[in-house]
Structure 1
Amino acid sequence: MNILLVNHYAGSTRHGMEFRPFYLAREWVRAGHNVQIVAASYSHVRTIQPKLNDVALSENVEGIDYHWYNTPVYKGNGIGRVKNMLSFMWALWCDAKRLALEIKPDVVIASSTYPMDIWPVRRIAKFSGAKLVYEVHDLWPLSPMELGGMSRWHPFIVWVQMAEDYAYRCADKVISILPKTKEYMCARGMAPEKFAYVPNGVDEEEWAEPIDMPEDAKDCLRILRNKNLPLVGYAGTHGLANALDVLLDASTHLKGRAELVLVGNGPERNALLQRVASEGLSNVTMLPAIPKKSIPRFLDAIDIAYIGWHPNPLYRFGISPNKLMDYMMAGKPIVHSVSAGNDPVADAACGFTVPPSDPRAIAEAVLKMVEMPKEERDFLGSKGREFILGKRIYSVLAKQFLEQI
């Protein structure tokens, strides 16, 4: 089968996030399919941008053909990002016939976070007679409306809503990363039989051959270990949505009982560092980001993993965070602070779920784990790993994806 996957923000192990398109595509290639990923040359989530000397670049990454369109650099979520989107979509629209004739896709997947790529992607599908799949990562325009407070009558929101409704109507299949979206999608015009759920997962190979953490991170964790207190860890982006401010609030209830260590970068990191210093949060250590392939080593070094969310009605459609999959793959018992349409921690019985934005509840869950015999904590963690290996590794998810088409 020839598969064309369009994802504006697609990355790879060479470029960084986002990884899902790469992991799925690599499994499809290994299964004997031909896969072309089309993406923009600049993405705010990518660590390394491809180097283009012209309007486009083609290269091969682990058997996957990538085609990058030259798009402008931007910062934040303003007009610069919109120009970047428009540039990518226009290049894709203009190149639709060539892509259809050269790749001859059997399946074309529109997979960017925003839905507006459905228009040029459907054009490619029409030229090639391919099946059209719309993959939903986040619900746009609900995300910018409910998280960003944008009015439903804002011109950008109206434009996005037109694209989303069009995608539900015209796609042959709609595949959602979020489990509880079917009813909403049907209300926007999707036929119920089009819906399928394929969540995020874990690349098993990254866990087979992890790399060591940087020496400064290893030294820091060694010092913390010498305090003979359990380590509660967080690895990931330091943003508003990650509820790390609530974890810092919880730290005051854990002094002398547990050490907290946060690894990562993000827009809120400096503010969190200032809080740690100004409030004298002596049991909180913050380390900069480490390589993705070192995350298994970090998780090996901690006892309990934390993930949290602030209350938000958008989460009623479900969650599928990559860091949670990593925690479960590492076999760590998890404290999950959330209210959402689904809860993988509860599904796997691999930890404790507490209400969001409740530092005392977080602290009580941590202390409950601390007081458990180590064997019981290890058993909790093993349930998460068992869940991932059975249902959430990309070799399984890639096969499941194609079976839905």
Structure 2
Amino acid sequence: MRILYIDHYAGSPTLGMEYRPHAMAERWMRSGHTVTLLAGSFSHLRAENPDVRIDGEHRSIDGVDFRFILTRSYGGNGIARVLSMGDFVGKGWLQARRISTALRPDVVVASSTYPFDTWLAQRIARFSGAGLVHEVHDLWPLTPMELGGYSPRHPLMWLMARAERSAYAESDVVVSILPNIEPHVRSLGVGTPVVHVPNGIEASSGDQPAPEDLTALVATLHAEGRTVIGYAGGMSTSNALDDFIVAMGLLRDEPISAVLIGDGMLRPELEKLAVTNGAAVHFVGRIPKRSVGAILRHMDGLYIGSKRSPLYEFGVSANKIFDYLLTGVPIVNAFATAHSPLKFAQCSLDATAEDPGDIARALRKIAVMQPEEAAERGRRGVEYVLAHHSMDALADDMLRALEQAADAQRHAAG
């Protein structure tokens, strides 16, 4: 098959996240399929953005073909980010016939987190006679409404709701990273098949050594007799690092330190919060993805959390969950959901979301945990993630969904 995978924010091991489209594409190409990733020239998620000068510019990056649409840069979640979405969808819509003619896809996947890209994907699929798949990362507009406090009457939320329903109704198959969205899709009066293909792990990719200064920091903290708690990922509201830092402040007189790997728009505020609370927290910035596992394995425990939200009734599939499970290190789980691989694996120390006192309690438990218990929790996590979240198996599952969509379109065409 010829597959066009549309994701405004698509990255690669070199560019940085989002990694999923590239990881899927690599595996499909090994099976003889032709894959092109259609992405924006700028993404806030990438560690490095390509120097793209021309709309539709083609690049081969880390072994996968990309086609880039010029999109403006932005910071934060303001109007500039919305305009960047408009750049991607609007320019792509205008280029749809040219893209269709050049690539002749058998199936088109819309996967940009926000739902507006369905209109671009629908247009390309229509010109190509291709099957159409909509891939759900998060439920929009529910996500910005719940986490950002927007009213459903806000014009942007209204437009997102129209795009969301169109995406579900016009697609041949809906693929969801979240485990429990089918009731939501059906509540909108849509009967399109829904397939769950969660995020996964690159179990065979191999770790790269962590930066020497970071390894030295963790070694120094251990030499001082301190328990070291790690975090790797973005620094946004949804990750609830503010609650974690307040919890660390409650432990300021105890030999427990935290090392936060990653970056994000809230980092300056979180650094100030750590100082205000006297928390022993070290911010070390981004490191290469393939070095993350190597350094996390040196930690005594790991933290992951969220804010409380009805959104989590649909489940979670954050990439860091699987990276964490693969380390074999005990995990403090302050996610506000029962639909989580951490719960399914029965390996985490659970804490109440948005409750720094309870998070501090779980961190103390890590500090006094016997090696045998730590090893057993770690073993359960590793076994679960290898059994259920291997990227090779997930790519096969996703490919079957794409084949289902392509077949549906062929049958519709007679």
TM score, norm. by length of structure 1? 0.94
C-alpha contact (below 8 Å) 1:253/1:360 kept by paired residues:
no
C-alpha contact (below 8 Å) 1:180/1:341 kept by paired residues:
no
* Cα deviation, residue 48, structure 1: 1.5
The alignment yields a C-alpha RMSD, in angstroms, of 1.8
Q: Which residue of 1 aligns with 2:226?
A: 229
C-alpha contact (below 8 Å) 1:345/1:352 kept by paired residues:
no
TM score, norm. by length of structure 2? 0.92
Q: Which residue of 1 aligns with 2:408?
A: none
Q: Which residue of 2 aligns with 1:280?
A: 278
Query: What is the identity, as a one-letter code, of the residue corresponding to 1:304?
Result: G
Q: Partners of 2:370 and 2:126 in 1: how far apart?
A: 61
Query: What is the identity, as a one-letter code, of the residue corresponding to 1:224?
Result: L
Q: Which residue of 2 aligns with 1:122?
A: 122
* Cα deviation, residue 9, structure 1: 1.0
Q: Partners of 1:211 and 1:64 in 2: how far apart?
A: 21
Unaligned runs of 5+ in 1: none
SS at match of 1:55: coil
Query: What is the identity, as a one-letter code, of the residue corresponding to 2:70?
Result: N
Q: How many residues align?
A: 401
Distance 1:336 1:167, change over 3 A: same
Q: Partners of 1:94 and 1:276 in 2: how far apart?
A: 47
Q: Partners of 2:79 and 2:257 in 1: how far apart?
A: 42
Any residues of structure 2 matched to 1:4-403 within 5 Å, and which? 4-191=4-191, 194-206=193-205, 208=206, 210-251=207-248, 252-253=250-251, 255-281=253-279, 283-403=280-400
* Cα deviation, residue 63, structure 1: 3.5
Distance 1:211 1:342, change over 3 A: same
SS at match of 1:18: coil
* Cα deviation, residue 14, structure 1: 2.1
C-alpha contact (below 8 Å) 2:57/2:68 kept by paired residues:
yes
Unaligned runs of 5+ in 2: 405-414
C-alpha contact (below 8 Å) 1:345/1:353 kept by paired residues:
no
Query: What is the identity, as a one-letter code, of the residue corresponding to 1:266?
Result: G
* Cα deviation, residue 144, structure 1: 1.5
* Cα deviation, residue 312, structure 1: 1.6
SS at match of 1:147: helix
Q: Partners of 2:235 and 2:77 in 1: how far apart?
A: 18
C-alpha contact (below 8 Å) 2:60/2:66 kept by paired residues:
yes
Which region of structure 1 is more displaced relative to structure 2, 68-77 or 387-396? 68-77
* Cα deviation, residue 329, structure 1: 0.9
Distance 1:9 1:131, change over 3 A: same
* Cα deviation, residue 104, structure 1: 2.1
Deviation by residue 1:1-37 (Cα, 9 ceiling, x = unmatched): 1111111111111211111111111111112211011
Identity of aligned residues (%): 39
SS at match of 1:60: strand
Deviation by residue 1:300-347 (Cα, 9 ceiling, x = unmatched): 210111111121222221111111111101111111012225121110
Distance 1:200 1:98, change over 3 A: same
C-alpha contact (below 8 Å) 1:168/1:189 kept by paired residues:
no
* Cα deviation, residue 164, structure 1: 0.8
* Cα deviation, residue 254, structure 1: 6.9
Distance 1:379 1:71, change over 3 A: same
Which region of structure 1 is more displaced relative to structure 2, 66-75 or 358-367? 358-367
Q: Partners of 2:306 and 2:155 in 1: how far apart?
A: 29
* Cα deviation, residue 257, structure 1: 4.8
Q: Partners of 2:84 and 2:369 in 1: how far apart?
A: 51
* Cα deviation, residue 188, structure 1: 1.3
Deviation by residue 1:206-230 (Cα, 9 ceiling, x = unmatched): 4x1x222222212211110102233
C-alpha contact (below 8 Å) 1:36/1:65 kept by paired residues:
yes
Q: Partners of 2:274 and 2:286 in 1: how far apart?
A: 17
